[in-house]
Homo-oligomer: A and B are copies of this chain.
Amino acid sequence: MATDTDFHVFDTTLRDGAQREGVSYSVADKLAVARLLDEIGVGFIEGGWPGALPKDTEFFARARTELKLRHAQLVAFGSTRRAGVRVEDDPQVRALLDAETPVVCLVAKSDVRHVREALRTTLEENLAMVHDTVAFLVRHGRRVFLDCEHFFDGYAADRDYGVEVLRTAFAAGAEVGVMCDTNGGMLPMGVGRVVADVRTRVEGRLGIHCQDDTGCAVANTLAAVEAGVTHVQGTANGYGERAGNADTFALVANLVTKMGLPVVPPGCLTELQRVSHAIAELANIAPDEHQPYVGASAFAHKAGLHASAIKVSPELYNHLEPEVVGNDMRILVTEMAGRASVELKGRELGVDLDGHGEVIGRVVDRVKVLEADGWSFEAADASFELLLRAELPDAPPPLFELESYRTTVEHSGDGQVMSEATVKVHVDGQRVISTGEGNGPVNALDNALRQALVSRHPQLADVSLADYKVRILGWKGGTSATTRVLIDTTDGVGEWTTVGVHSNIVEASWHALVDALTYAVRHR
């Protein structure tokens, strides 16, 4: 069976995955994503389409000097030569050579209808385009993989033509023939049957590329592996057009931990969670908390029932030890969870609650009341820790007492937009008035408040807002909408999340802000 040396994990986050709605990488982003993918040990990283997209041409140029990969080989993506053109005269094919990557992945039509209606050429010319382009690139020392677009739909219409395309590619020197479910309509059983049939009819390494339109991209890929393919294509977090692609992280985790295939080098698997979140950040997409293996909730337990049983034997309630993929088991504090959850959560936060039964009871009650008002501590560990510690004996007093604040945003006649905030607080019994400006009302409040506190708490100078999320609650048919604000704060070393809830977005932000600074002073 496959081993890490002869099994291909091929990631196309930077090419096919970049077609996801809302994603737009800078060249620097693309270089950073490639480095991260290399850290999880994928064998191939498809970087883009040189010649077609200027950004991708620049990426390959910079990659030559700036990108040092430990595990992966860089791949340039392109198309077979145009119909009726000599391959050496096709500038798009030339651009593939100029990218100077060890590997080139070519896309070719393998569905007779696409050849005739989209490409508008003959079946024979399409085969010639495949042969000429593969042979040309092989002559120039490239490893060549061929993506057979719409392979499965094509197989349904004509079970021979796609096979012809594969044979032609292999005969011309292609190393891999990839069967692509481009429209994503397949199910695992069907993929397995087609792959098994094709395997008996061609000589050469077969690969699989699945889209998630039936919600089966990962399963379809694994079914193809079970049927004998040894090259799988995926994208980070499944980013891709429409419903997306097969998620590279779920593929790798399943292949290694469920199917026993060591498809990545030792030590790489524990990087999955970190790399997944880092790429989400670069793509500027909020991480999917419910994503298999790497999501913040992937190993989280909510029901009070479970939480209490988990204290007995955790292994009975996880399909895998979270640490294997660099994740951990979080215990959620919610109305459904009871005392056991709070106790476990305290342990997780390093707060020993043994012998503090009454504290646990008060925390559970307090959380229930707050959650009924729209608060949520599931994503705001820092706010929860402050709430928990405030119930402990000899809890410290608040950092300050608020007298009042005022914040203004002004769009003046000359088109300038300015924000300003003034806070009046009492710190250690002393009244402090401080005014700050900012690029928004919350930023201005943040600056004003930190200025009021920084002389007593100099560490606040290094603290800054990392992310800011706003959620309107209960607005459906709602006259009295509530706003929930989550603030991620960083001190350059770590990051923590706090929450605030109020009908006024600024007041909600204020609550989250005060928790953020209090946490920075007390617990960093």
Q: A residues near B, CB below 8 A?
A: 18-22, 24, 53, 111, 113-114, 117-118, 150, 153, 183-185, 187-189, 212-216, 218-220, 222-223, 226, 238, 241-244, 247, 250, 253-254, 258-259, 281-282, 284, 289-293, 295, 297-303, 306, 309, 312-313, 316-320, 332, 334-336, 371, 376, 378-379, 402-413, 417, 419, 439-442, 465-470, 472-476, 480-481, 483, 502-507, 510
Q: B297–A243 contact, CB under 8 A?
A: yes
Q: Besides A19-B336, A153-B319, A419-B506, 18 other CB < 8 A contacts?
A: A24-B334, A118-B316, A150-B316, A187-B258, A189-B222, A213-B298, A218-B219, A241-B302, A242-B297, A242-B298, A243-B298, A281-B476, A404-B412, A406-B411, A407-B409, A466-B475, A469-B470, A470-B470
Decide if A189 touches B223 in the complex (CB within 8 Å).
Answer: yes
Point out the residues of chain B lying under 8 angstroms from A320, CB to CB.
185, 213
- Chain B residues with CB below 8 A from A335, complex form: 24
Q: Which residues of B contact A24 (CB under 8 A)?
A: 334-335, 371
The distance from the CB of A259 to the nearest CB of chain B, in whole angstroms, is 7
Establish whether residues A258 and B214, one from each chain, have CB atoms under 8 Å apart when the complex forms: yes
A302-B19 contact, Cβ under 8 Å, with A243-B297, A406-B409:
yes
Contacting residues, chain B, for A295 (C-beta < 8 A): 242-243
Q: Please, which residues of chain B bring their CB within 8 A of the CB of A219?
A: 187-188, 215-216, 218-220
Chain B: CB-nearest residue to A422: B410
Task: Given A219-B215, A226-B189, A247-B215, decide whether A20 and B290 contact each other with a Cβ distance below 8 A.
Answer: yes
Tell me whether B441 and A505 are in contact (CB under 8 A). Answer: yes
Known: A219-B215, A303-B241, A476-B282. A409 touches B506 (CB 8 A): yes
User: Across the interface, do A213 and B319 meet the contact criterion of CB distance under 8 Å?
Assistant: yes
Partner of A408, one of B214, B243, B408, B412: B408
Q: Which residue of B lies closest to A113 (CB)?
A: B316
**B residues within 8 A CB of A504?**
409, 417, 419, 439-440
For A282, list chain B residues within 8 Å (CB). 476
Contact A187 to B475, CB < 8 A, known contacts A411-B404, A419-B504: no
In the assembled complex, the Cα of A309 lies from the Cα of B226 at a distance in Å of: 34
Complex alpha-carbon distance, A378 and B237, angstroms: 20
Bound CA span A466–B212, Å: 31
Known: A220-B219, A302-B241, A476-B282. A440 touches B505 (CB 8 A): yes
Q: Are B503 and A440 in contact (CB under 8 A)?
A: yes
Shortest C-beta distance, A153 to chain B (Å), equals 8
Q: Which of chain B's residues has its CB closest to A303's CB?
A: B19
A190 to chain B minimum Cβ distance, whole angstroms, is 8
| A481 interface neighbour in B19, B253, B301, B439, Cβ under 8 Å | B439
Expressed in whole angstroms, the Cα–Cα distance for A507 and B113 within the complex equals 51
With a cutoff of 8 Å between Cβ atoms, the chain B residues found around residue A258 in the complex are: 185, 187, 214
- Return chain B residues, CB-CB under 8 Å to A212: 290, 292
